[in-house]
């Protein structure tokens, strides 16, 4: 008797299997694209925040490294400002400073930061308090606020304190008058 060899089953996919696979793949790709678009749309925000933070830190560090009192007069926050930022020699010289675009301490604009504005406020008032160290009876604490406004109007403020650590009382020679 002659038998036929078994016929091999045809390999492949049916039309229904192909359609189901395409639908599942399409849903997965749509989800990935949605996440990608959302991420790309917000990718500039962290960069703007970091640039604002770095600018505020740079200005604050420059300011807090200056002297507490004016070396020429020995006074603190006496209103006599220097002619330019390159000549600023004490913390209070920076009060009211506005740079747009931001500049280095020699007045040169920082490249690529044209839309940013940096402003500085120095507070030597009686309300300034740093863990119990305040300005009564003598001026011992200065609060420095550096505010950076980005091109997208993100406002970033960084504050720091400069103290006259030699000042213990009004009669102390380390204390300076207003």
Q: What is the dihedral of CA 17, 21, 22, 24, to 10 degrees?
A: 140
- Phi, psi angle pair for 56, to nearest 5°: -60, -45
Render 134-154 in DSSP notation, one character per residue.
ESSSS--EEEEEEEEE-TT--
Please report which confidence band the pLDDT of residue 63 belongs to, taking 50, 70 and 90 as the band edges.
Answer: very high
pLDDT value at position 61? 95
Name the β-bridge partners of 121: 145
Residues in the chain: 178
Summarised one tens digit per residue, pLDDT across range 74-124 is: 777 776 677 788 888 889 899 999 999 999 988 899 898 999 999 999 988
Q: What is the dihedral of CA 94, 97, 101, 107, to 10 degrees?
A: -50
The closest of 144, 143, 142 to 178, measured between CA atoms, is: 142
pLDDT value at position 89? 87
Summarised one tens digit per residue, pLDDT across range 125-135 is: 777 878 777 77
């Amino acid at each position: 008797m002659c038998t036929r060899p078994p016929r091999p089953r045809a390999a492949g996919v049916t039309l229904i299997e192909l359609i189901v696979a395409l639908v599942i793949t399409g849903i997965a790709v749509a989800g990935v694209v949605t996440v990608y678009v959302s991420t790309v749309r917000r990718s500039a925000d962290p960069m703007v925040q970091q640039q604002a933070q770095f600018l505020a830190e740079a200005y604050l560090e420059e300011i807090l490294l200056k002297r507490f009192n004016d070396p020429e007069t020995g006074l603190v926050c006496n209103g006599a400002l220097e002619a330019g930022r390159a000549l600023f020699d004490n913390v209070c010289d920076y009060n009211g400073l506005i740079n747009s675009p931001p500049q280095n301490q020699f007045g040169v604009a920082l490249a690529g930061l044209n839309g940013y504005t940096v402003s500085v406020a120095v507070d030597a008032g009686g309300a300034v308090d740093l863990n119990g160290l305040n300005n009564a009876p003598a001026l011992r604490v200065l609060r420095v606020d550096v505010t950076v406004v980005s091109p997208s109007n993100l406002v970033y403020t960084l504050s720091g304190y400069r103290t006259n650590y030699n000042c213990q009382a009004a009669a102390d020679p380390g204390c300076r008058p207003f």
